[in-house]
Structure 1
Amino acid sequence: MKSWKWVQLLTLSLIVVMVFTACGKSGNSGNSESSKEGSEVKITLLNSKGEIQAQLEEAAKTFKEDNPGITLEIIPVPAGQSPFEKASALYASGNPATITMLDTGDVEKFKDRILDLSGEKWMADAVDRSTSLTTFDGKNYAFPLAIEGYGFIYNKAVVDQAVGGAFDPATINTTSALEDLFKKIEASGKAPLIISPMDWSLGAHYLPLAYAGQSADAAAVAKFVDDLKAGTVDLGSNPVFNGLIDTFDVMAKYNIDKASPLSGTYERGPEVLGKGEVGIWFQGNWAWPQISSFDTASGQYGFLPVPVSNNADDFGNTQISSAVSKRLVLDKEKNTAEQQAAAKKFLEWIVYSEKGQDFLVNKANIIPAFKNITLEAKDPLAKSISEYIAKVKTEDSMSTLPADHWAKIGASMQKYLAGAADRATLTKEIEEYWKSVK
């Protein structure tokens, strides 16, 4: 009986050993599977150019076809939220995107959390000065995604009819000339223009023309901004600022939505311009995909500068605003080395593959910041900007404004547009804002 118990114990022990051995093998098998699965790398891209969300999603699919082991998810920045705010929130949650699309001025704020990209292959092909504003202590932290420009977009069919012949954009070089064009468009039975009242359009694009228009010298513009911060600028007596607001007053007078100036939406702008209901829209080349869906002018559109005086020789009257506007940065805090490598591969795919270049130029309608990309822009707005660049008729966009500039100054501009604030109030709010900037 005693020996029988020993046999039972021995048998039980063998069973336990076998079970654990099996579990161990099973566990090893699982780890092996996990290792195989680990070859699939998932990365994310935070997109702050909402108008190319669909194109980016399609590019992600094409990229995966070329790189089967990499899955790229495109995360849109919510409407009304700045890329800085969304990126900061993701970092605060401990879940930053692998690739984040930032405005130029925000890159420095994240430089301790993002990769140094100075040694990347595409650096040698980047156009001159395209990485200068994202280089700190000799290290470049960002990929220059897009050269963009903005000003008055005109529908050639509408303005040709208004002027009774072939419209020459070079004739619009003063505020008075602009108003004369508005009058002619109105007389032809069309609305002269539409003002899109979003804070980002007014605060990040329109009002900054008052800063950039101070001088063709970038150093002088930088000093002007420093003086604004120091509180030593009297905007009320500044001719460029007042000239820009004079032009804005003319715009407000001929705005199709002047009865309810804050009711407009971004989506309404391309519709009424494309359909020929208005002749002009203040916006940038990024709007072409939306305009094209309503196009009744056979793709005939172009840009006019925003004049700031009645002297055609004054700087700004014949220049449109352009710069590298969007940058891609790569997280180094939370994303793995494999994810970082996959993200770098995506950047190289954009610059060097035919499919990547096609996405950038033909699908997203972006003017590339790389010399090796020789595809010519197909859309008329990118072509128009390229012509201004070729003629050296551009002024640098204000790419390094504080992250909250568009929201705060945009709100002040909205009040002014709606008649809820006069010029003195607008001027004071802008001056007070800059004094609060650290």
Structure 2
Amino acid sequence: MKKKWFKGLLSVVAFSLVLSACGNSKDANTPGEGSEGKEVKITLLNSKGEIQQQLEDAVKEFHNDNPNITIEVTAAPAGTSPFERASTLYASGNPPTMLIMDTGDVEKFKDRILDLSGEKWNADAVENATVLTTFDGKNYGFPLAIEGYGFIYNKAVLDKATGGNFDPSTIKTRDDMENLFKQIEASGKKALIISPMDWSLGAHFLPLAYAGQNKDMAEVNKFIDGLKAGTADLSTNNVFNGLMDTFDVMMKYNIDQNSPLSGVYERGGEMLGKGEVGIWFQGNWAWPQIKSFDTANGTYGFLPVPISNNAADYGNQEISSAVSKRIIIDKEKSTPAQQEAAKNFLNWMVYDQKGQDFLVNKASIIPAFKNITLPAADPLGQSIQDYIAKGKSEQSMSTLPADHWAKVGASMQKYLSKSGDRAMLTNEIIEYWKSVK
């Protein structure tokens, strides 16, 4: 889903990027007379920070194939939601041509962005990939990536802890999970690391309590409506309390329990990749960080986050996944030539061999298109694909309010640091939802 921004991403970008104006620069707003052989300059706001370098390389490849089109890529500033950054750029009258946005943000810009319903790739998208960005029969979002998250495990650590070939299907309940934590620590390693970033806690972990209410998303939406209306009693909700009971166990075995808010995103990848811990709660987007610290060429995969001790309960054996990132195209300030150039880039990713290679092999993205048959290039993507293929997938909450991860994530941070108890957390979540218009 995303929301993975970390230090160092505000780097110089392809083709003479000027960070002070990450929308369409003056030059970018002055393309040639058309896209057929005329020079066109367009811009792309990237909110999927972990693929910044790969995206810079991709637009260079695209430029080689389309020398009349130059794309400048800028990273959304660390700590800022893509909605906030996009809103600022639109307010300044300088939006980029293309924006990588979270799914739930697309509707907020639908009057300012291009209707993409006529594009060929709509027919090649995986089932339901465009449902959440379709309004009044028009699709406004290009489904960029399927992402999933849960407990990432280092198999070498778990093999040693369990005295054999670790089988992820053996972890079906909270007690199974805690027993595994005990085995890992008995082997001399730490069980897990909790990354304390508000986006990880507020956009990924806590939403498991929403999505886990029911397999039917219509029922989940009713639950959210109940939270907004103040009629859903979160304090007695079994799924929410079960998830938080699981979080209590995680806190007990957290390698950073003495300083739970001190960790940064990169530390999780380092601890797991080096085999210092066996498990890290994170998503498949984290593979580049894990890989950079893995010198043993190890094996990794996902475990679901159990919410009870009944193996049959929904969520105990499912991995959360969804199309999390979308590309939208501005129509308010961009010219027709720029819009066509942006469409060409989207088609290049879906139908060109180099574009597909960028998505799957370079950026470690699970594509949302049936025509792209390349297998996931990394073990985390492969693990997510395996859960989906087996029908063990829980729909991620990809349409939460833009400020949810910041505000509710801050409440989760207080709980993690033990500066607030369960009652505090529950009340702050309730009050947040009652404030949502």
Output the TM-score relative to the length of structure 2. 0.92
Map of 1:360 onto structure 2: 359
* In structure 2, C-alpha distance between the alignment counterparts of 1:312 and 1:123, rounded to whole Å: 38
* In structure 1, C-alpha distance between the alignment counterparts of 2:296 and 2:319, rounded to whole Å: 22
Stretches of 4+ aligned residues off by more than 4 angstroms = 33-38
* In structure 1, C-alpha distance between the alignment counterparts of 2:267 and 2:41, rounded to whole Å: 37
Map of 2:15 onto structure 1: none
Q: Post-superposition shift, 1:35? A: 6.6
Map of 1:429 onto structure 2: 428
* In structure 2, C-alpha distance between the alignment counterparts of 1:207 and 1:336, rounded to whole Å: 41
Say whether residues 1:226 and 2:230 are aligned partners: no
Amino acid at match of 2:364: N
Deviation digits for residues 394-429 of structure 1 (CA, Å, limit 9, x no counterpart): 100000000000000000000000000000000000
Counterparts in 2 of 1:214 and 1:34: CA distance versus 1, 3 Å: closer
Instruction: Give me the CA root mean square deviation.
Output: 1.3
Map of 2:238 onto structure 1: 239
Say whether residues 1:305 and 2:327 are aligned partners: no
Counterparts in 2 of 1:304 and 1:35: CA distance versus 1, 3 Å: closer
Counterparts in 2 of 1:245 and 1:73: CA distance versus 1, 3 Å: same
Q: Is the 8 A contact 2:32 2:39 kept in 1?
A: no
Map of 1:210 onto structure 2: 209
Determine helix, strand or coil for the equivalent of 1:148.
strand
Counterparts in 2 of 1:404 and 1:97: CA distance versus 1, 3 Å: same
Map of 2:391 onto structure 1: 392
Amino acid at match of 1:276: G
Q: Is the 8 A contact 2:32 2:40 kept in 1?
A: no
Deviation digits for residues 16-69 of structure 1 (CA, Å, limit 9, x no counterpart): xxxxxxxxxxxxxxxxx9879992111111000100000000001000000001
Q: Post-superposition shift, 1:123? A: 0.8
Map of 1:123 onto structure 2: 122
Say whether residues 1:273 and 2:272 are aligned partners: yes
- Superposed, 1:25-424 pairs within 5 Å as 39-424=38-423
**Percent of aligned positions with the same letter in both sequences?**
75
* In structure 2, C-alpha distance between the alignment counterparts of 1:364 and 1:296, rounded to whole Å: 20
Amino acid at match of 2:328: V
Map of 2:7 onto structure 1: none
* In structure 1, C-alpha distance between the alignment counterparts of 2:296 and 2:184, rounded to whole Å: 15
Deviation digits for residues 369-395 of structure 1 (CA, Å, limit 9, x no counterpart): 001001111200000000000000010
Q: Is the 8 A contact 2:268 2:280 kept in 1?
A: yes
Deviation digits for residues 65-124 of structure 1 (CA, Å, limit 9, x no counterpart): 000011111110011000000000000010101000110000000000000000001111
Q: Is the 8 A contact 1:276 1:296 kept in 2?
A: no
Q: Is the 8 A contact 1:102 1:328 kept in 2?
A: yes
* In structure 2, C-alpha distance between the alignment counterparts of 1:133 and 1:173, rounded to whole Å: 31
Q: Is the 8 A contact 1:157 1:297 kept in 2?
A: no
Determine helix, strand or coil for the equivalent of 1:293.
helix
Counterparts in 2 of 1:35 and 1:312: CA distance versus 1, 3 Å: closer
* In structure 2, C-alpha distance between the alignment counterparts of 1:34 and 1:105, rounded to whole Å: 34
Q: Is the 8 A contact 2:156 2:298 kept in 1?
A: no
* In structure 2, C-alpha distance between the alignment counterparts of 1:235 and 1:228, rounded to whole Å: 8
Q: Is the 8 A contact 1:118 1:139 kept in 2?
A: yes
More helix by share: 1
Gaps in structure 1 of 5+ consecutive residues: 1-32
Amino acid at match of 1:170: S
Amino acid at match of 2:52: Q
**Mean Cα displacement is larger for which, 294-303 or 72-81?**
294-303
* In structure 1, C-alpha distance between the alignment counterparts of 2:34 and 2:244, rounded to whole Å: 62
* In structure 2, C-alpha distance between the alignment counterparts of 1:314 and 1:199, rounded to whole Å: 27
Counterparts in 2 of 1:35 and 1:387: CA distance versus 1, 3 Å: closer
Larger Rg: 1
Q: Post-superposition shift, 1:357? A: 0.1
Map of 1:10 onto structure 2: none
Q: Post-superposition shift, 1:290? A: 1.0
Counterparts in 2 of 1:34 and 1:223: CA distance versus 1, 3 Å: closer
Determine helix, strand or coil for the equivalent of 2:149.
strand
Q: Is the 8 A contact 1:299 1:380 kept in 2?
A: no
Output the TM-score relative to the length of structure 1. 0.91
Q: Post-superposition shift, 1:313? A: 0.5
Deviation digits for residues 320-343 of structure 1 (CA, Å, limit 9, x no counterpart): 100000000000000111100000
Deviation digits for residues 205-261 of structure 1 (CA, Å, limit 9, x no counterpart): 000000000011111101000111000011110010000000000001100000000
Amino acid at match of 1:415: K
Determine helix, strand or coil for the equivalent of 1:146.
strand
* In structure 2, C-alpha distance between the alignment counterparts of 1:368 and 1:205, rounded to whole Å: 20
Counterparts in 2 of 1:301 and 1:405: CA distance versus 1, 3 Å: same
